[in-house]
Amino acid sequence: MDLSEIFGFLIILKETLKILPKNGKLVASIAILSLLLSSIIFALFTYFLQLIVANMFASYTNPEYSDANNNNNQVLKYTALLLAVELSFLFIFVIISNLLSTATILVSSFSYTGKNLSSRDLFSSIKRTWKKPFSRRSYSPSSSRFLSIAVVLAVILVFIYPNFITICAAVIFGIVVYIFLLYSSVVSALSVVVSIVEDSSRQEALEKAEKLVMGGQRLHGFMLNLFFNLVALILILPGFYYYIHKLSVNNATIYYGLFFMNFVSLLNIFVFTAYTVFYYRCKKHHGEEEEKEEEEDINVQYSQLPALDSDIP
């Protein structure tokens, strides 16, 4: 394995930056819409959250609920309401994220192939394929679920036996599991692009993604995942550190949450654009693009052949 295979993902990032200006109006519209919707969702969520928490604390000072049983009933009532609000906004955010991810993949696909995409065609394509990323994300290998449970058990073990050895072992184990999950998630992430670009079913997309990552291409996908996660970590940690130190400042939580939501939205656009480029590079690596171009050339040449005199009545 040479360095070109390890750092081959840099070529994917370079091509990603090149295709972003193509269909630039649509890309800008997706980015603006993503920032706008995520900000509105977060603002509404924060408003309802503060309202529910304020009413919860106000119920303790209300003389009508001075009894312990009444207080417990009020706590359960507001806790259930708080959980319902959180799940509702999470559901809305996932739906919007799927729509924007689908739009990003479609625009990136047309930009990579050098085709123009009208707004009307984009909306019709989104209407046909927007549910596919949602079904893809519900898929996870059994080994990933097993390792996730193992990490939870390791954390519980640290809480039961908090010493230097258990903490170090848990941290190392967590890093190894995290790297494995990044490596194994390449197929699942690529299948999202396959399902939208090729308009295929869940099983077909997963099988096609498995074939595409063969021949060393999975390593490029893993390096992409690792790169994006490191970028997110580098940008989010300073903000989280600032948030902890400014926790007592009014609206610090709102500002950090708004920054986090907008950052995730923009990163999501870049990630799916990069994975669309990765999809086409995998096809090119396996010779699928060349075969398609040869078929198109043959069809063009056949259509341009002059008709024989014997064929003319």
pLDDT for 203-212, tens place per residue?
A: 888 888 888 9
Angle at 220 between CA 196 and CA 259, to 5 degrees: 70
250's CB contacts (< 8 A; 6+ apart) are none
Identify the residue with better confidence: 256 or 270. Answer: 270
d(CA 185, CA 179) in angstroms, rounded, equals 10
Please state the pTM of the whole predicted model: 0.77
Pick from 269, 295, 291, 300: which is nearest to 111 by CA?
A: 269
Pick from 148, 270, 129, 110: which is nearest to 205 by CA?
A: 129
| pLDDT for residue 21 | 86
Q: Please check whether residue 253 is in contact with residue 243, taking contact to mean a CB–CB distance below 8 angstroms.
A: yes
Identify the residue with better confidence: 34 or 155. Answer: 34
d(CA 119, CA 276) in angstroms, rounded, equals 19
Q: Residue 295: pLDDT band by 50, 70, 90 thresholds?
A: very low
pLDDT-wise least confident of 40-54, 138-152, 256-270: 138-152
d(CA 93, CA 40) in angstroms, rounded, equals 11
